Each structure stands twice: as structure tokens, then as C-alpha cells.
Amino acid sequence: MGQLFRKNLWFYIPYFIFLIVAGIILLLLKKTDIHLFINSIHCSAADFFFKYFTNLGDGIIPALTIFILLFISFRNAIILCLSSLLSTVTVHLFKEIILSDLNRPKFVFENIAELYYVPGVDIHLLNSFPSGHTVTAFSLFLFFALISKNNYYKLTFFIVAFLIGYSRMYLSQHFLMDIYFGSLFGVIFSTLSYFWVSKWKNKKLELSLLYTLRIKRNDR
């Protein structure tokens, strides 16, 4: 596990910095005050960017990635599939059962303060914790970082995941607390899935559907 962290410091270090800074903010300030501050910072360019960029955290993205990976590497497809499955189950468990009474900013601020909403965005009211988009983003883009050998790519993947998480606050879909723990779930599941599946000693996992189809075609 230590080697895994050392090889991916360009993702893990900025992420740990985020955890520390955001953790301090959460300890010192109320979640409503934090959200009001974030909500006060907006412009038309950011509205446009985050309105569409947030879609990279949709569940369909890892599903499509898993399908593509089946033609490249069974092992990597299994890693992402396991991480995505753990993420999906955890998100629904918290949203529907454990913390189903935690509501989103629009519901919380109703009759308290008037929030700015990006035009054209459907704002949800219930099931705030955790942010599913953020869980998906950190699970998926950490996976990309783990299979990448380029440090600049690893850092870029962190920035993309972070911006997806931030987009959920910018669009007033979630509070910082939802983003914080959503990212934590995503990082933990992706790290553990990669660490576990990477230890499976089965040569067939290094193959792919593309290789299998090519072999069958040659056998005809």
C-alpha cells in the first residue's frame, strides 16, 4: 500500500491538502455560512462551465469507461467496476437509509436566504449526503491516476475530480460536507479496489475482449 501511495503522490498530496483545509473550514464554520460564501462567487463564464462540467460525475461515465476497458484490460475493468459498485451502494445506503433526512441547500435555505441558481439547472431538494457526483468523480479519476505513469496527468486528474466536486457546491446541489465525505468515499474505494485486484495472480486478467476476439478469428 505504501508503494501505491508513493507512486501516486501527485494525486494524493493535493488531495490530502484539500482534506486538511476543508476539514478545518468545516470545524470552524457552519455549513450554511460556508455555502453562502461559495454561492456569492459566480459569473456567467463559471455558470456555463460548471453547468456542463459537472456531468463528468454522472454514473454513466464510469459505466462507459468499464465497457471500453473490457477491450483493453480485464483487470482494469474489474478494478473500476468494483470501485464503482462500492461507491454506488454506499451512496444509496447513506441517501436512502442512514442519513436520508439531510436535505440540500435549496431546501435548507428556503425562507432563510435567497441563493443564486445557475439558469437551466434542475435543483434537487432532498438526499444531500454524500454527493454522488463527487464519489463518482474521485473514484473514477483516481483510478485514471493509478493506471497512469505520467505525474502531470495524475495532478490533472485530481484537479478534474476537485472541480467536479466544487461544481456541486457552485450549482447549490450540495454542501461542502457532502463533497468532503463524497471525495473520501471515492478515494478509499478506488485505492482499495486497485490495491486488492492488482494482487490477483491470474494471467487471463491481463487479456481483453479485443485479444480474445482476435484469437478466435485466427482460429477459424
pLDDT in tens, 98-121: 999 999 999 999 988 899 999 999
The DSSP output letter for 97 is I
pLDDT band at 212 (very low <50, low <70, confident <90, very high): low
pLDDT for 217: 58
Is residue 140 pLDDT above 60, yes or no? yes
Residue 170 Cα distances to 89, 96, 150, angstroms: 26, 24, 30
Distance from C-alpha of 205 to C-alpha of 125, rounded to nearest angstrom: 43
Q: Is the pLDDT of residue 216 over 80?
A: no
pLDDT of residue 27: 98
pLDDT top residue among 204 and 24: 24
* Alpha-carbon span 141 to 199, nearest angstrom: 21
What is the pTM assigned to this prediction? 0.94
The pLDDT, as a whole number, for residue 90 is 96
- Reported as a single tens digit per residue, the pLDDT across 147-197 is 999 999 999 999 999 999 999 999 999 999 999 999 999 999 999 999 999
> Residue 70's pLDDT is what?
94
From its phi and psi, is residue 127 left (phi > 0), alpha (psi between -120 and 50) or beta? left
**H helices within the chain, ranges in order?**
2-7, 9-28, 31-39, 44-53, 60-69, 74-93, 105-108, 132-147, 151-170, 176-197, 209-219
pLDDT in tens, 22-80: 999 999 999 999 999 999 999 999 999 999 999 999 999 999 999 999 999 999 999 99
Which pLDDT does position 210 carry in this prediction? 74
Return the pLDDT at 208.
84
Distance CA 208, CA 210 (A): 5
| Per-residue pLDDT, 205 | 86
pLDDT at residue 37 in the model? 97
Residue appearing with cell numbers 454522472: 58
Per-residue pLDDT at 135: 98
What sign does the CA torsion over 71, 73, 76, 78 have?
Answer: positive
3-state secondary structure of 167: helix
Q: What pLDDT was estimated at residue 207?
A: 81
Give the model's pLDDT for residue 147.
Answer: 96
pLDDT of residue 204: 81
Residue corresponding to grid cell 461507491: 87
